[in-house]
Amino acid sequence: MSSESDARGQEKRKAKGPSTDAVHAGEARQKLGNSITDPIFCASTYTFADTQSVIDYIEQHQQREEYGRYGNPSQRVVERKLATLEGAEQSVLFASGMSAIVGLLMAKLNAGDEVIFFDECYHRSREFCSKHLARFGVMTRQVETGNFAAMSSAINDKTRMLVSESPTNPHLSCIDLDQFVELGSQFGIETMIDATLATPYNLQPLKFGVDYVVHSATKYLGGHNDLLAGVIIAEPDKLADIQNLRGIMGAVTSPHNIYLLERGLKTFELRMQRHNANGQAVAEFLESHPRVERVYYPGLPSHRDHEIAERTMSGFGGLITFQIKDADWRATADVVDRVQLARIAPSLGGVESLIEQPLVMSYYEASPEDRAKWGIHDNMIRIACGIENTEDLIADLEQALER
């Protein structure tokens, strides 16, 4: 049995636990050079023995590489592993989370089509749709997050896709995926969920019937703040045109990043257990603190979508957003600056905790009217809990909140 067929054979066996799949899924038992780890293939092109080999590759659709823009042997391993973790058969790896979203929308939408977003979304996703897809004749409609009546009213005969995050960034709103899928099915429209904040460990949207799941693998999947990657996961027949467009766009992940992603995934479940525990404990601490006005975290009963989160998710991740009571943006910045463990930076999902003030980090150039519309408050802080000891994170936040 070849290494490729050996790896595919693994996928047909009984489903295993998340850590077992994170370590072993998608990999051949015996690898090149008898190494326990997959090698890094730093090749821009791949050779053929003779002309007939090229013809066989084309006519027989052989699973091998031709040119670096179309694939890499290690990339195929990571794609199988990510698909398995999501409970699927296939995935397509991209150079970043944003390139995955762009690739999906560009592959599925044509001039004259419309896409509907719930309005709590990553600001770059919003920008791509409203500023760039619009140039190609694709209209984006935004409706209040979780308002399915508004989404239903926005649907017309040009609507081709319904899009949401779950949980959303930075408000951590959770979507009732049963209603989301039912609405798509009712109108014959495909659905996409960006589940970066949830990860396959906490939420698997495909099991609810969602058509496409997108992750920024830069975050929890890679887990170490040292790579960029994105992935789209769906049924194989839905991914063919996406994979083809990726080859045309050249939005491929570098060989070294593929290696880092596979390496990071080995400890995926262990890291997520700590992220979930830290997130819950820190959120509970913040909610009890007299200087904190409000905490956004789906694991708290006070969160508006707590019931949905408990019903659909197995854990709630390490990202928390909170507001400082009676504070302007400068007083809020002072709290951020006093934190010692978490580093001031964008992103999330790495082993190191990160903290930021959304107003400054992501929305500084937005108008006050737009910030108000998107729910970005001057006194808002977002912390992405890493895997540090819980008591140390809480103690650090406690000292930062002291006047």
Give the residue numbers annotated as catalytic, written as ranges.
69, 122, 194, 219
DSSP string, 134-187: GGGT-EEEEE-TT-HHHHHHH--TTEEEEEEESS-TTT-----HHHHHHHHHHH
Contact, 183 vs 151, CB < 8 A? Answer: yes
In the three-class reduction of DSSP (H, G, I as helix; E, B as strand; rest coil), residue 382 is classed as strand
Q: Say how many C-beta atoms besides its own lie within 10 A of residue 188's C-beta.
A: 8
Contact, 204 vs 198, CB < 8 A? Answer: no
Planar angle of CA 326, 330, 334, nearest 5 degrees: 95
Q: Say how many C-beta atoms besides its own lie within 10 A of residue 154's C-beta.
A: 16
Strand order in the sheet with 230-234: 90-94, 230-234, 212-216, 190-194, 159-165, 114-118, 139-143
In angstroms and rounded to an integer, the radius of gyration of the C-alpha atoms of the chain is 22
Q: Say how many C-beta atoms besides its own lie within 10 A of residue 54's C-beta.
A: 12
